[in-house]
Structure 1
């Protein structure tokens, strides 16, 4: 049994007779643990899917952290959520016998902020990170410990007309990770603050590129 305080949905792959890849989903502000499942539906048969519910109530759903204004998470709350989320991933690896070389984190909005932070502090423990319409908080970029990302990759996407999280925030994240030496895929779409059908195809392809032997 998982000891983590997180509420989550777990979907197991068709076969669990050997170590399998896992995808961890982190939703956006005011949403819930069911929101992002459709993004990775094509990968359900071959991967464990863990979709986490943010720990903070925020109508009509939940949040992963509080903030004074967009772009500025409350530091003490954010620090704890990062610790808890990292611990959840490591615990799930043990509890569900996951393939440690194929761990993926997918986040949108607040979830993308958490996902990018985890990519930085967990380094190559996360094979692939998908950050949809997010950013890197300044205190994370400046103060958080970073681990090498030489065995990992990151997919960052942003809508060109995003007025919730400005487009320049997505560009800034891509530049930050490139400067850090990460393998960065940066995609933009003629959209607002959302996820287009093309965006979904691209993120699935980004993950599936590592899973050819399982998917075939």
Structure 2
């Protein structure tokens, strides 16, 4: 089943025949678009395949993957559809491009962080690492979906210390859960609100580069 999402795929400008590359699947927040995430990891474009995925729903001046009824309570048909579509993107990209399947990364902000962590729990060891910025893991996902072990998956969790949408309590709870289940967790609280700070960008690019070099 083909994905219904618009994607932009950036392949390193110089590729070696037969070589496989780590891949970043980048998921934006609600009201943003894939270019916001692609530009976030611009310094990695010659080292990684970067896949920016645009949500198929409009929201203000940008896009969304699903709509919310209220906090932690999405329109379930839309949420489930977004998960299915994103799983398709991951599979299609891996098959179509020179992707190293042992080095697949998910990065996301806000709604994109929620989906990144959700996908990691559904794919388990098929995901090498996750960068989740200002998001959370939905309770219903753990209760209703066939989640898998994260004991081979590393996580970089970023949280804004003054985030008015997802307060620091949410970040702390997510960190607590992941430390019990993931292979390794790096949790950083930044002096920022609901946003990706310049320091967060520097740190996530460094984390991705180092993690992809580790076997």
1:38 CA drift (Å)? 2.1
CA distance in 1, matches of 2:142, 2:184: 17
**Contact map agreement 1:28 1:111 (CA 8 A) in 2:** yes
Alpha carbons of 1:7 and 1:32: their partners in 2 closer, same or farther (altered >3 Å)? same
TM-score, normalising length: structure 2: 0.93
Deviation for aligned residue 1:141: 2.4
Q: RMSD of the TM alignment (CA)?
A: 1.6
Deviation at 1:201, TM superposition (A): 1.4
Deviation at 1:211, TM superposition (A): 3.7
Secondary structure of 2:103's counterpart equals strand
Partner of 2:206: 205
Classify 1:139/1:170 alpha carbon distance in 2 versus 1 (closer, same or farther; 3 Å): same
Q: Any conservation in 1 of the 2:2–2:88 contact (CA below 8 Å)? A: no
Query: Residue by residue, what CA displacement relative to the aligned partner does 1:28-60 show, whole Å, maximum 9, x if unpaired?
Result: 011111111222111101111100001111111
**How many residue pairs get matched?**
212
- Deviation per CA, 1:72-111, whole angstroms, max 9, x where unpaired? 2122211111111011101100011310011111100100
Partner Cα distance (1:163, 1:93) in 2:
37
Please name the residue that 1:23 is paired with: 24
Q: Deviations over 1:120-176 (max 9, x none)?
A: 111111101000000111101222212122221111111010001222111111111
| Structure 1 spans left out of the alignment, 5+ residues | none
Mapped to 1, the partners of 2:62 and 2:71 lie a distance apart of 18
Aligned equivalents of 1:211 and 1:181: distance in 2?
Answer: 17
CA distance in 2, matches of 1:49, 1:68: 31
Match of 2:49 in 1: 48
Structure 2 residue ranges without an equivalent (≥5): none
Runs of 4+ residues deviating >6 angstroms: none
Q: TM-score, normalised by structure 1?
A: 0.93
